[in-house]
Structure 1
Amino acid sequence: MRARTMRRQYGAILPFCLVFLALLGLMAVAGLESLLLHERMLANERRSQGGFEAAEAALRAGEVEIGRQCPSAAPLADGAVWGQVIELTPQWWENNGIEADFAGVDAPPRYFVEFWRGNAALPNAPVYYRVTARAAARASADASVLQVFGVATCNGDQTITQNRLSWRRLG
């Protein structure tokens, strides 16, 4: 009787194992796709963070430049308006922005300083400024654009007091 029972069950495990292995293979492929997606997301976040850090370094370079000399609260001699609105196109930045040193990006970050008129009649009048910085990380078409608003006051001994009022991320 045992021989008959064995013959009826012979080979039944083979289809079960094949189905089980196919399911395991599908789960492995799904896990690999998820892992690759997370890897790409992490690489994009790293590039974005690199651009942000480069733009922040350019902002600081712009603020250091303001701190080197006392900005005047008087209007410009040629009648230009303080704080003109700037374009944020890459070509404009290449022609008009000032380069800042920063490693880890394809092109050096650039910044632009805009001053707003203070009250020129007051001695040591505060001067308001806006520094806009742009940087793109390695192999990234997206650029980080940051702005900082601040006030600078020239003291009687030609020292400068600077304060950041606010900052924002434009892109």
Structure 2
Amino acid sequence: MNLYSFARAQQGMVLVICLIMLLLLTLSGLAAMRGSTLQEKMAGNSRDSEQAFLAAEAALRNGELFMTTAAAVASGAFDTTGTSGLYDVAESGVTTDWQSATANWRDSTALSEVAATPKYLVEKLPEVTNKGLSLEADQPLETMFIYRITASAVGKTTTSRAVLQSTFRR
């Protein structure tokens, strides 16, 4: 066998090996693109849930600000049906089911970065006696009112939802 016939017999194998290498590189590129797309979706979902959390926190602060006003504790503002998002749990003895579709919410300040206006509701809890003060015989014990504020908000899409609660003493 001479050198010319050996080189001629090997010409087809180079093409097959190159095609296999090209196929492997293509598969590697597709896997990298799929991973990149997944990471992009995860980053978007993380941002969406963060937006929902920030909007719920803003609604919670609006609820606390509302509780500092005189209108919040006006006579008849709280009732057992939760008209305008103000529930009197002390009178009814039943806590509010904030997951229920029939719950009454108060709208918070509208935000441009979320899909819906954040909301909050306020529950007036039973009166509490402050036992940390002096127990002198001629002094009555001080009582205080505790309120539970629940805020709910969605992110840029309605698929992410954040619910926060705080207690407020007045």
Same fold (TM over 0.5): yes
8 Å contact from structure 2 (residues 89, 123) kept in 1: no
8 Å contact from structure 2 (residues 48, 160) kept in 1: no
Instruction: Report Cα offsets for 1:14-66 as digits up to 9, x if no partner.
Output: 00000000011111111111111111111111111111111110100011111
Q: Unpaired runs of 5+ in structure 1? A: 153-171
Q: Unpaired runs of 5+ in structure 2? A: 81-87, 131-139
8 Å contact from structure 2 (residues 89, 96) kept in 1: no
Correspondence 1:22-101 to 2 at 5 A: 22-69=23-70, 81-82=89-90, 84-89=94-99, 91-93=101-103, 96-101=104-109
Task: Give the 3-state SS of the residue equivalent to 1:141 in structure 2.
Answer: coil
Moved segments of 4+, more than 3 Å:
69-72, 76-81, 119-123
Deviation at 1:81, TM superposition (A): 3.8
Larger radius of gyration: 2
Correspondence 1:1-171 to 2 at 5 A: 1-69=2-70, 81-82=89-90, 84-89=94-99, 91-93=101-103, 96-101=104-109, 102-116=111-125, 117-119=127-129, 122-123=141-142, 125-152=143-170
C-alpha distance in 2 between matches for 1:108 and 1:122: 42
8 Å contact from structure 1 (residues 84, 114) kept in 2: no
TM-score (norm 2): 0.73
RMSD: 3.0
8 Å contact from structure 1 (residues 106, 136) kept in 2: yes
Structure 1 residues 77 and 33 mapped into 2: Cα distance closer, same or farther (>3 Å)? closer
TM-score (norm 1): 0.73
User: How many residues align structurally?
Assistant: 148
Deviation at 1:128, TM superposition (A): 1.6
Task: Give the 3-state SS of the residue equivalent to 2:12 in structure 1.
Answer: coil
Task: Give the 3-state SS of the residue equivalent to 1:130 in structure 2.
Answer: strand
